[in-house]
């Protein structure tokens, strides 16, 4: 609301508006242009504060291309320790793309190219000498759909520690499995059936198993890509409660389509739009007094 | 404000927010009329008008409850965010002010009925002169505050707040003249104290108008200036380099 609309409606050169992104209620073409202008106005300059003191990870001027498609543009954003940052925005805005840059998941996509710099504890994670497997141990990930391995509950959690050599004997491994399941709030429900398949659990339990699996290898950052979108409200509440507890030990980045969820679980919120990081700020402020018109329109449900 | 309520993907949300705003403005119009009518009835000794004010006080209270209900339902059903959230919160706050303005108008009307038919001797004569000065000021502050709310105009809101000291000056001048009357004839002390309460009611109406004007700043800029002076209220919203 504080950002004035530009008077001139020049052709949007840098920000092509794809039909799929134009939003349901964007009827007149002028509005489409107005939105494109606003995005252009951002011009890589994000509103709000992108940096934090002593970040665990720091992205600077990150661009991602999928072949010819410029998926995210000049994104700079710090990830703070012991806090939850949520990434919100309409489908195709680049929030998941950005998330996947943080543990180099985009490497697995053919034709994907990442420029700019992303550092973890000051070291470039895109450096040629960076061991990607090691990086993904430090930056764990939880996906939208719970994806336990087709193995026992025990093996789901012990797999990571085993391949990373975190346990020297069975006793140590048992301890890691128990601690991880306890931290994920699942221990009490599964302690008597650790040898049953992970897939025998309910959706919410499976997702907590995936979180237990992620924290078993002692990561520093946990990335979550819509971790609750396949869960019912009660299972969602359990995960959200868990996220709040995990914050004491990890930095957490969560991509969510639910603005209420972002408002509930995160301390900072980043709003993406058509590949631009439009606005970043304390969650309390973003949801009561966003500065950019695009953020305002999105969180109030005016387009998306 | 109209612009603010519209444009949601869910059209029912627009309808809810517009309805809330319309009802709030209706309540505002009713309360403004209560103030004008109660003051005029006192000045002119019009008992029927005073009775109308008292009878309509129930409607003010109904608006208060009904708007509160609408606000709660809207929060529960729509989970308003951003400017929508500020609309809901600032209306909730402003409704409380309006309801209290309604109570002040009731006090004036009660006084008028109690002293109806009394001859224009002191302190009633003096009080009528003072009300003639203060009431239009208080009523116009209220009207302009509601207008600023409707048009979402922070500058107009600041102008309302700036006028509060005029009303306070009038109030203190009126107090001084009533003290003079008291010194001339201490037997009138009871009547004088009652007169002071009427003047205080008008002074409070100005405070509530100022309070509504402050809610306009929150509504438009997201700054809570309820306990700030007018200079802070008029300060431009902070830039992009801070996160507060």
pLDDT in tens, A72-117: 999 999 999 999 999 999 999 999 999 999 999 988 888 999 999 9
Nearest to B9 among A1, A25, A260 (CB): A25
Question: pLDDT tens-digit profile of A251-301?
Answer: 999 999 999 999 999 999 999 999 999 999 999 999 999 999 999 999 999
The alpha-carbon gap from A58 to the nearest alpha carbon of chain B, in Å, equals: 19
b/e burial code for range A202-225 (CB count within 10 A of at least 16 → b): eebbbbbbbbbbbbbbbbbbbbbb
A141 close to A222: Cβ distance less than 8 angstroms: yes
Q: Which residue of B has its CA nearest to A292?
A: B240
C-alpha closest to that of A66 among A16, A99, A112, A98: A112
CB proximity B170 to A under 8 Å = no
- How many angstroms separate the CA atoms of A260 and B171, rounded? 49
pLDDT at residue number B121 = 73
Average pLDDT over residues B69-81: 95
CB proximity B124 to A under 8 Å = no
Specify which of A182-186, A233-237, B213-217 reaches the highest per-range mean pLDDT. Answer: B213-217
When scoring B4, B13, B223, B243 by the number of chain A Cβ atoms within 10 A, the one with the most, hence best to mutate, is: B243
The alpha-carbon gap from A35 to the nearest alpha carbon of chain B, in Å, equals: 14
| B243 occurs within a structural domain | no
| B193 occurs within a structural domain | yes
CATH number of B102's domain? 1.20.58.220
Domains belonging to chain A, first-starting first, are: 7-11+39-299 (3.40.50.300)
CB proximity B221 to A under 8 Å = yes
Query: Which residues, other chains included, contact A40 with Cβ-Cβ below 8 Å and sequence gap of 6+?
Result: A12, A13, A14, A15
Q: Which residue of B has its CA nearest to A284?
A: B244
Question: Where residue A43 falls among pLDDT bands split at 50, 70, 90?
Answer: low
Cα dihedral A198, A202, A206, A208 sign: negative
Domain count for chain B, please give it.
1
Query: Which residues, other chains included, contact A41 with Cβ-Cβ below 8 Å and sequence gap of 6+?
Result: A3, A6
| B124 occurs within a structural domain | yes
pLDDT at residue number A304 = 47
Question: The domain containing residue B32 runs over which residues?
Answer: 9-234
* Residue written as token pair 């290898």: A217
- Cα pseudo-dihedral A158, A163, A166, A170, rounded to 10: 50
- How many angstroms separate the CA atoms of A63 and A49, rounded? 19
Nearest to A287 among B82, B242, B244 (CB): B82
The alpha-carbon gap from B222 to the nearest alpha carbon of chain A, in Å, equals: 6
All residues of chain B having their beta carbon less than 8 Å from the beta carbon of residue A289 are 82, 86, 221-222
CB atoms inside a 10 Å sphere around CB A282: 16
**What one-character DSSP code corresponds to residue B227?**
T
| B17 occurs within a structural domain | yes
- How many angstroms separate the CA atoms of A248 and A115, rounded? 32
Q: Does the distance separating the beta carbons of A287 and B85 come in below 8 Å?
A: yes
3-state secondary structure of B124: helix
C-alpha closest to that of A209 among A192, A193, A186: A186
Containing B207, the helix (H) or strand (E) segment is helix B189-221
CB atoms inside a 10 Å sphere around CB A138: 17
- How many angstroms separate the CA atoms of A65 and B218, rounded? 42
CB proximity A290 to B under 8 Å = yes
Chain centroid to Cα A70, Å, comes to: 19
Question: pLDDT tens-digit profile of B127-140?
Answer: 999 999 999 999 99
When scoring A45, A300, A304 by the number of chain B Cβ atoms within 10 A, the one with the most, hence best to mutate, is: A300
Question: Where residue A230 falls among pLDDT bands split at 50, 70, 90?
Answer: confident
Question: pLDDT tens-digit profile of B163-192?
Answer: 999 999 999 999 999 998 889 888 889 889
- How many angstroms separate the CA atoms of A235 and A252, rounded? 19
CB proximity A294 to B under 8 Å = no
B21 close to B67: Cβ distance less than 8 angstroms: no
Q: Beta strand A268-273 with A251-255: parallel, antiparallel or unpaired?
A: unpaired
- How many angstroms separate the CA atoms of A250 and A82, rounded? 5
B223 close to B237: Cβ distance less than 8 angstroms: yes
pLDDT at residue number B55 = 97
Nearest to A300 among B81, B242, B244 (CB): B81
All residues of chain A having their beta carbon less than 8 Å from the beta carbon of residue B240 are 47-48, 291
- How many angstroms separate the CA atoms of A263 and A244, rounded? 12
Question: Where residue A32 falls among pLDDT bands split at 50, 70, 90?
Answer: very low
Nearest to B81 among A281, A287, A303 (CB): A287
Asked whether the predicted pLDDT for residue A8 surpasses 80, the reply is: no
When scoring A78, A289, A293 by the number of chain B Cβ atoms within 10 A, the one with the most, hence best to mutate, is: A289
The alpha-carbon gap from B21 to the nearest alpha carbon of chain A, in Å, equals: 17
CB proximity A161 to B under 8 Å = no
ipTM summary value: 0.81
Q: Does the distance separating the beta carbons of A301 and B240 come in below 8 Å?
A: no
Got the DSSP string for chain A? --SPPPS-----SSS---GGGS-TT--SHHHHHHHHHHHHHHTT--EE----SS-SEEEEEEEEEETTEEEEEEEEEEE-TT-EEEEE-STTSSHHHHHHHTTTGGGGSTTEEEEEEEEETTEETTSTT--HHHHHHHEEEE-SS----SSBHHHHHHHHHHHTT--SSHHHHHHHHHHHHHHTT-HHHHTT-TTSBGGGS-HHHHHHHHHHHHHHT--SEEEEESTTTTS-HHHHHHHHHHHHHHTTT-EEEEE-S-HHHHHHH-SEEEEEETTEEEEEEEHHHHHH--SSHHHHHHHTTS--
């Amino acid at each position: 609301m504080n950002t004035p609309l530009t008077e001139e409606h020049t052709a949007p050169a840098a920000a092509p508006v794809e039909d799929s992104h134009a939003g349901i209620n964007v009827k007149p073409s002028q509005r489409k242009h107005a939105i494109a202008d606003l995005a252009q106005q951002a011009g890589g300059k994000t509103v709000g504060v992108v940096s934090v003191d002593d970040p665990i990870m720091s992205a600077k001027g990150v661009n991602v291309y999928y072949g010819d498609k410029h998926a995210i543009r000049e994104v700079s954003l710090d990830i703070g320790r012991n806090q939850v940052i949520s990434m919100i925005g309409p489908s195709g805005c680049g929030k998941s793309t950005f998330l996947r840059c943080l543990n180099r998941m985009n490497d697995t996509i053919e034709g994907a190219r990442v420029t700019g710099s992303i550092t973890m504890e000051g070291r470039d994670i895109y450096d040629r000498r960076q061991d990607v497997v090691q990086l993904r141990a430090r930056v764990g990930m939880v996906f939208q759909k719970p994806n336990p391995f087709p193995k026992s509950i025990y093996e789901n959690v012990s797999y990571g520690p085993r391949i990373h050599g975190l346990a020297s004997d069975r006793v140590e491994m048992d301890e890691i499995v128990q601690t991880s399941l306890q931290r994920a709030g699942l221990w009490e429900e599964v302690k008597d059936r650790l040898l049953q398949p992970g897939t025998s659990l309910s959706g919410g339990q499976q997702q907590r198993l995936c979180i237990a699996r992620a924290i078993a290898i002692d990561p520093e950052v946990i990335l979550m890509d819509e971790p609750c979108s396949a869960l019912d409200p009660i299972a969602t509440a359990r995960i959200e409660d868990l996220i709040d507890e995990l914050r004491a030990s990890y930095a957490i980045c969560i991509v969510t389509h639910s603005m209420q969820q972002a408002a509930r679980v995160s301390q900072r919120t980043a709003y993406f739009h058509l590949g631009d990081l439009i606005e970043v700020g304390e969650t309390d402020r973003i949801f009561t007094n966003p500065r950019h018109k695009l953020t305002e329109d999105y969180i109030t449900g005016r387009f998306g | 404000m109209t612009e603010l309520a519209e444009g949601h993907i869910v059209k029912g949300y627009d309808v809810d927010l517009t309805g809330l705003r319309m009802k709030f403005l209706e309540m505002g119009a009713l309360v403004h009329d209560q103030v004008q009518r109660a003051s005029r009835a006192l000045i002119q000794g019009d008992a029927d008008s005073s009775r109308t004010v008292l009878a309509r006080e129930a409607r003010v209270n109904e608006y208060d409850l009904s708007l509160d209900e609408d606000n709660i339902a809207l929060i529960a059903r729509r989970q308003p965010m951003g400017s929508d959230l500020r609309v809901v919160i600032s209306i909730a706050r402003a409704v409380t002010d309006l309801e209290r303005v309604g109570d002040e108008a009731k006090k004036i009307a009660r006084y008028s009925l109690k002293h109806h038919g009394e001859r224009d001797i002191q302190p009633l004569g003096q009080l009528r002169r003072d009300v003639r000065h203060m009431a239009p000021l208080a009523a116009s502050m209220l009207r302009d505050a509601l207008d600023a709310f409707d048009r979402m105009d922070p500058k107009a809101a600041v102008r309302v707040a700036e006028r509060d000291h005029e009303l306070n000056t009038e109030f203190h001048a009126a107090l001084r003249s009533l003290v003079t009357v008291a010194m001339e004839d201490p037997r009138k002390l009871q009547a004088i104290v009652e007169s002071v309460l009427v003047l205080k009611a008008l002074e409070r109406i100005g405070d509530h108008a100022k309070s509504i004007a402050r809610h306009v700043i929150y509504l438009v800029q997201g700054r809570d200036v309820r306990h700030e002076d007018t200079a802070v209220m008029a300060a431009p919203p902070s830039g992009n380099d801070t996160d507060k």
